[in-house]
Structure 1
Amino acid sequence: MSSLTKVKHSKWGFGIVKASRLSGYELLVQFENGLEFWLKRNELEFFERTPKKVSEKPKEEGVLLQVERRVLEALRIGIVPVDYVQNFTLGREKELSALREWLDSEQNVVFIEGEYGSGKTHTCHYLEQIALLNDFGVCFVTLDPNVSPLYSPKKVFTSCMLSFKVILGKELRSFRDFLDFLSRKEIVTGNPYFDFVLNRLKNDPDSLEYTADWLIGLDVDPSFLGEAPRHSDYSTAANIYCNLFSTVAYTLKSLKKKGLLIIFDEAENVRGGFLSSSQQGKSDNFLNGLIRVAEKDGELLTERVRYEDGCYRGVKTHLPYSAREREIRYRCSDSYHLKLAFAFTPSIGDYYLKGRSLPLSPLCNPYLGRVRHIKLNPLERENFKAIAQRVLSIYEKVYGTQQTDGNEVFEKLEGKLISLNTRMFIKGVIEILDYARLNPNKGVSELD
């Protein structure tokens, strides 16, 4: 089958076949909206492509070459581009099956554990794609201590909403598009921030850009705000942003979506030597609140709030509340579905899982016992070999070289597999291919 065979899917519309597996039983299809999925052959309708004029062929090949070059440049630093994640997902059948099962289960929190370079980010992007395919809205945020530290709920919310994606109709939409779509519906959320936005958009549709930016937490002209509730940069505002997360999940459900999935990559940054003890405690509080919201903790709707230890706290949960907006509960009604995925290094994941036994600690969360725990085990020899072949295939398309044997490249690195993680292995493959291309009179075997 041609790699440019045109197909149509009943839900996603038209696309082209880019690859196949399992003897053609599953096909990798890139759709016109930019999404790319592995789908069963019997789910697709096939079309004959109209032959292109000879003069147009170089143009098409040029576009494809640009795509391959972009992929190769990402692979040089050991990163697989998001739209190529499924092409490079090898040897993770057990872990990916567990993630798909978790996504469909009643468990709402998963810890994805793996050493540095083991493929946690890659696995998270795979989860992002299958969640979109299964009618979830998805946020993907890296917990960078300088951009979105967990001790700053507002910054985390802003990063999440800037990354928000959802499929509406057949199009991949941003959070701004989502708000525009919601404003055309008769929806009341009970959240003062969200309802302010929806009411404003109904009365002034042209204000979408400013209104969306304000809700996301970006800086806007103060004169625009009027009687709007105020955002807060304080860590005690966790109740405001946890409620907003649950409200986004609620509005997704109201549109017949399954809910909201938030993926936190590099979650080991929630605990590290660069954090003060105060920042660490604030991070733990927010993490505790998020997990309780995902698990629909009933105490969050009914507990009294009182002033103690320098701030307002819930009597039962001991979670902090914003002094100005303490009437806002951590969660909205029961009609929402929020799932959380955290990618940790092993030591940090174990710390939080064991933390549930610590009395009177922010980590003393009764729901940690329900967390799904998925470990990324080391890849097998044959998986590394397949990765080397796929990198070689892309490299040859970009540079037009066909002088290097993929098996020879793999064998050169095989002795170092014990010390190499997946990321370093990919970088090593490309370094060998660069050497072979730039030194055509020397063989790969001459490399140390």
Structure 2
Amino acid sequence: MQLVRHDIYGKGKIKKRRFGGFELYVEFEDGIGRWVRRDEIRFLPDDPASEEQEPLGSISHEEQFKARQIVEALRLGIVPHKYVEEFTFGRKREAEQIRNWMSRRDEGSLLIIGEYGAGKTHLLEYIYSIALRDGWAVSLVELDPNESPLHKPKTIYRKIISSFRFGKKKNDFREFLRQIANNSKWHKLKEHAHLGPVIQSIRNNKDTDDYLEWIEGLSEAKYPTVEKHVFDSGVIIEKKVLGYGFMEERTTLGKS
């Protein structure tokens, strides 16, 4: 065991290393083990190991970026979103309740109640993280009396859709619809009043922006419809009604 000295914790023995030796797990004489940075300790002179024998090693850009994200989040007083599970302590009972709730599809809603600063937001972030990892589609929305008040359900709906994520790559709602359209079981939603036409449009490789903006709540237009008029002269007029006075018209010559 390599003996070291820390200016605050005193003497100790190195037990583990991580991040290429940048951090060392030291068991100090007070019986408590702590992760400390290498530059915070000194190797004792009588120990055969020297700093040269313990190369720091190179730290990858990915590790540096991860460390920067964590530091910046903590500096702002929030838990790093990507690493919320690593920063969740003393919540074993709540974590078990959350997992049990997620495993029962007929359990309905889960309400988290607590005083200010009790960790409600942290638990929501925790649920978001484990649900996303376990294959759920998730959305995290903060209700605000000014930006997303309860008396404006469409605004809340837009927030839900814009925050919608699923999969390891955290794909958005449009990618969700595309994957459904390319799935062998897509026909199960074919008769759905709203999703059916959108999925069918994606499968037919048609221009789906109008449908997608409508289903995402981004447009004030009503549900897009297409009217086709054929005249004896051979003129075909197609009108795409976008609602609220917006209309796209296309005229062609030929047979229907």
Q: How does 1:15-414 map to 2 (within 5 A)?
A: 60-105=59-104, 106-167=106-167, 171-184=169-182, 185-188=186-189, 190-205=191-206, 207-208=207-208, 210-219=210-219, 225-227=224-226
1:209–1:230 CA distance, 2 compared to 1 (3 A): closer
Compare the two structures and name the one with the higher helix fraction.
1
Letter in 2 for 1:128: Y
d(CA) in 2 for partners of 1:231, 1:3 = 60
> How far is 1:135 from its partner?
3.0
Residues 320-375 of structure 1: per-residue CA shift (max 9 Å, x gap): xxxxxxxxxxxxxxxxxxxxxxxxxxxxxxxxxxxxxxxxxxxxxxxxxxxxxxxx
Say if 1:80 and 1:88, in contact at 8 Å, map to a contact too. Answer: yes
TM-score scaled by length of structure 2: 0.58
1:113–1:178 CA distance, 2 compared to 1 (3 A): same
Higher alpha-carbon Rg: 2
1:128–1:195 CA distance, 2 compared to 1 (3 A): same
Tell me the secondary structure at the aligned position of residue 139 of structure 2: strand
> How far is 1:3 from its partner?
5.1
1:199–1:61 CA distance, 2 compared to 1 (3 A): closer
Say if 2:214 and 2:222, in contact at 8 Å, map to a contact too. Answer: no
Residues 169-212 of structure 1: per-residue CA shift (max 9 Å, x gap): x643211101111122333354322122112222235x355533
d(CA) in 1 for partners of 2:120, 2:243 = 33
Tell me the secondary structure at the aligned position of residue 138 of structure 2: strand
1:175–1:143 CA distance, 2 compared to 1 (3 A): same
d(CA) in 2 for partners of 1:93, 1:112 = 15
Letter in 1 for 2:189: V
- What is the number of equivalent residue pairs in this alignment? 176
> How far is 1:109 from its partner?
1.1
d(CA) in 1 for partners of 2:146, 2:91 = 32
Residues 219-243 of structure 1: per-residue CA shift (max 9 Å, x gap): 38x69934499899xxxxxxxxxxx
> How far is 1:116 from its partner?
2.0
> How far is 1:151 from its partner?
1.7
Say if 1:140 and 1:160, in contact at 8 Å, map to a contact too. Answer: yes
1:123–1:97 CA distance, 2 compared to 1 (3 A): same
Say if 1:193 and 1:215, in contact at 8 Å, map to a contact too. Answer: yes
1:89–1:230 CA distance, 2 compared to 1 (3 A): farther
d(CA) in 2 for partners of 1:92, 1:211 = 43
1:189–1:224 CA distance, 2 compared to 1 (3 A): closer
Say if 1:176 and 1:208, in contact at 8 Å, map to a contact too. Answer: no
Return 150-159 or 62-71, whichever deviates more. 62-71
> How far is 1:85 from its partner?
0.2
d(CA) in 1 for partners of 2:155, 2:165 = 18
What stretches of structure 1 move > 3 A for 4+ residues in a row?
1-5, 60-63, 207-211, 222-232
Letter in 2 for 1:179: L
> How far is 1:143 from its partner?
1.0
Identity %: 31
Say if 2:198 and 2:211, in contact at 8 Å, map to a contact too. Answer: yes
Residues 54-102 of structure 1: per-residue CA shift (max 9 Å, x gap): xxx75x5444223222221221221112111011101111111111111
Say if 1:192 and 1:229, in contact at 8 Å, map to a contact too. Answer: no
> How far is 1:153 from its partner?
1.5
Say if 2:222 and 2:243, in contact at 8 Å, map to a contact too. Answer: no
d(CA) in 2 for partners of 1:3, 1:171 = 27
RMSD across aligned positions (CA): 3.2
Residues 276-320 of structure 1: per-residue CA shift (max 9 Å, x gap): xxxxxxxxxxxxxxxxxxxxxxxxxxxxxxxxxxxxxxxxxxxxx
d(CA) in 2 for partners of 1:73, 1:3 = 21
Say if 2:224 and 2:243, in contact at 8 Å, map to a contact too. Answer: no
1:123–1:183 CA distance, 2 compared to 1 (3 A): same
Say if 1:193 and 1:229, in contact at 8 Å, map to a contact too. Answer: no
Letter in 1 for 2:129: Q
Tell me the secondary structure at the aligned position of residue 137 of structure 1: coil
d(CA) in 1 for partners of 2:211, 2:114 = 39
Letter in 2 for 1:187: K
Residues 103-143 of structure 1: per-residue CA shift (max 9 Å, x gap): 12331111101222222111111111222233321111111
